[in-house]
Amino acid sequence: MVQENNATELLRWYVESGIDEALEDKPVNRFVAPETNEAESASLPTPPLPEQTGVADASATPPTISTPPASPPTPRPPAELVSRDEATKSARAAAKAADSLDALQEAIAAFDGCPLKHTAKSLVFGDGTVSAKLMFVGEAPGAQEDRQGLPFVGPAGQLLDKMLAAISLQRSDIYITNILPWRPPGNRTPTDSEIAACIPFIERHIELVAPEILILVGGTSAKTLLNTTQGIMRTRGKWFDYSRDGMAAPLPAQAILHPAYLLRSPAQKRETWMDLLEIRQRLDETTN
């Protein structure tokens, strides 16, 4: 009972520390070198098989019940250490060479400059209608997105659906993706290096989708794509020009509060409602 309580306490501590995902099916004892394991497994006594034992002999030494030898840990190839500049440079070359969304997704899958790739389960690329006029860009996948390989399918995504419905839109009326295609462990805020490594991909993603209006969901997306240090409370509710080299014309872009933040601070929903009306109006103007 005491042990059970300890285990529960330990699990709670893990979750509170952000350790809420198992990365491997089995635990890996990193204190045991693979050679030691092999040596141990070779010397482990093998329990006799039923056919060999026949009728039980009371005088015989009872078979030793041993746990099967642990298979030696499969070492993951060490992540290549590349500088932030090198990672961005190689992402830029790969993104530039991608002439379709499928090619971009493949390029991201082959990219090794962002360590999040090794801790995430899935590459979360995008969802919705590619020909939509509205493109939404969030921060990074969360736990459910990582599991399903789709952006905004967890609680924040469900609130986003309600926000869209409030202006008579549904998922199929928009295209949606994130700044980062991989989940940061424990949903922590992405680091500057992770963002820098992946920026060329989201920029190319926007270029290939070529929407008419860009919606930046939350502070990280707004700061990254508007290239500003201003917080979301200052950037939301205003129109900006999103422009990059090679674009025929700048795109109107607006930042909105992140639905994950609205779940924690529902009092801010009023502002977001005004922002959504503004976006709806702009969309109607483009449509006409």
Stretch that binds ligand URA, among 5-13, 73-81, 132-140, 232-240 (CB under 6 A): 132-140
Handedness of CA 146, 16, 217, 165 (dihedral sign): positive
For ligand URA, which residue of 178, 224, 254, 272 counts as binding (CB under 6 A)? 178
H helix runs in the chain, sequence order: 2-16, 34-43, 50-53, 84-97, 101-110, 116-119, 143-148, 155-166, 192-209, 219-226, 232-235, 259-264, 269-287
Task: Write each residue from 232 to 261 as x if it is in contact with ligand URA (CB under 6 A), else as -, in one continuous string.
Answer: ----------------------------x-
| CB 58 within 8 Å of CB 90 | no
Q: Among residues 95 and 260, whose Cβ is nearest to ligand URA?
A: 260
Least distance from C-beta 123 to ligand URA, angstroms? Answer: 12
For ligand URA, which residue of 142, 184, 200, 211 counts as binding (CB under 6 A)? 142
| CB 239 within 8 Å of CB 250 | no
d(CA 225, CA 194): 14
Interface with ligand URA, residue 181, by CB under 6 A? no
Closest residue by beta carbon to ligand URA: 138
Tell me how far apart the 2 most distant CA atoms of the chain are, in Å: 94
Handedness of CA 157, 159, 164, 170 (dihedral sign): positive
Residue 136: strand pairing partners? 176, 215
Stretch that binds ligand URA, among 51-59, 95-103, 139-147, 278-286 (CB under 6 A): 139-147
Residue 254: strand pairing partners? 215, 239
| CB 205 within 8 Å of CB 242 | no
Least distance from C-beta 159 to ligand URA, angstroms? Answer: 10
Interface with ligand URA, residue 151, by CB under 6 A? yes
Interface with ligand URA, residue 146, by CB under 6 A? no
Least distance from C-beta 261 to ligand URA, angstroms? Answer: 10
Q: Among residues 142 and 200, whose Cβ is nearest to ligand URA?
A: 142
Tokens of 33: 């070198």
For ligand URA, which residue of 115, 138, 190, 200 counts as binding (CB under 6 A)? 138
For ligand URA, which residue of 156, 174, 198, 279 counts as binding (CB under 6 A)? 156
Contacting residues toward ligand URA, per CB under 6 A: 138-142, 145, 151-152, 154, 156-157, 178, 218, 260
